[in-house]
Amino acid sequence: MKAHIQAVLPNALAPGETEPLYRQAKRELQKLIEARHYGPNQALPSETSLSKALGISIGTLRHAVDELVHDHVLLRRQGKGTFVAPHNPARFLFQFFHVEPRRSFGEEVIDPADEYPEIDCIAFQKAPASEEEALALRIKPGESVFRLENRLSLKNQVVMHDCIALSAALFRQLTEKRFVDRPSTIYSLYQTDFGITVLRTLERARAVAATKGSARVLGVLQGSPVMEVHRLALSFGDRPVEYRVSTINTKLHDYVNTLTK
């Protein structure tokens, strides 16, 4: 939903505050997106309009926008302007899906499009949050959560079993049909249907023995060595929106991460 920029932004920022002006501007732009004044793939107003509304220079505004582009909140399109970055399959592969067929450094890189997983929802229920889920999502134990299970395959080979917990209060209108029939990625569903943008994730990986449930999904023996990744998805203000435990069969696949500073 587009909004008149003067009506939703402060007349001017506070240069006397200890926080730099560009960070104040960044925070105000985040608020615009979080409040759904501008949705995925929608263009922001011009730099002139934004800088005037915020009472800052265009240079200061660009500094704020640069950080939001780096954070994957916004994206620039040459000759067209600045847009709210959507969650789509390409971003999913680049930023959030790290399982690839095993290969050595220097081997021919496979087209990423060939590595997009087939995702099947195998369970969907509403239940009281466990202590672990409540702690991660910052809700009270026993509050309602949606528990979802997905089976992920690469070229007909099951490689991952995902168990996802979502606060039912945050995703009030979520249904199994809505989840299964989503036209794009899970994070795209959060963004377009619920106004919740996943900005980054925190992950903890460990080696474990496959449980009975994961062994059944992955097609391995119970007790087989597998990789378990606990992921917390965070939105604006580092608000947790999803807690996910992924169990990965690494017999023929690697968990790949690109680290940059």
- The CATH number for 250's domain is 3.40.1410.10
- The CATH number for 13's domain is 1.10.10.10
Domain span including residue 30: 5-84
State whether residue 84 is helix, strand or coil: strand
| 242 and 191 within one domain | yes
Domain contains 260: no
Domain contains 114: yes
Write down which residue in 84, 111, 141 finishes a domain: 84
Q: What is the model's pLDDT at position 253?
A: 93
Domain contains 21: yes
Q: What is the pLDDT along the chain (261 residues), one digit of tens a residue?
A: 445 555 556 555 666 667 888 889 888 888 888 777 888 888 998 888 898 888 889 999 999 999 888 888 888 988 889 998 887 666 655 567 888 888 888 876 666 556 788 999 999 999 999 999 999 999 999 999 999 999 999 989 999 999 999 999 999 999 999 999 999 889 999 998 999 999 889 999 999 999 999 999 999 999 999 999 999 999 988 999 999 999 999 999 999 887 765
Write down which residue in 29, 56, 84 finishes a domain: 84
Q: What is the model's pLDDT at position 1?
A: 42
Contact 165, 145 (CB under 8 A): yes
Q: What is the model's pLDDT at position 7?
A: 52
| 125 and 13 within one domain | no
Contact 129, 165 (CB under 8 A): yes
Length of the chain: 261
| 39 and 23 within one domain | yes
> For tokens 């009030």, what's the residue?
172
Q: What is the model's pLDDT at position 91?
A: 60
| 164 and 37 within one domain | no
Phi, psi of 33 (to 5 degrees): -75, -45
Write down which residue in 65, 84, 103 finishes a domain: 84
| 128 and 234 within one domain | yes
Q: Residue 216 contacts by C-beta under 8 Å, 6 or more apart in sequence?
A: none
- Number of structural domains in the chain: 2
| 116 and 19 within one domain | no
| 112 and 74 within one domain | no
Domain contains 248: yes
| 54 and 119 within one domain | no
Q: What is the model's pLDDT at position 110?
A: 62
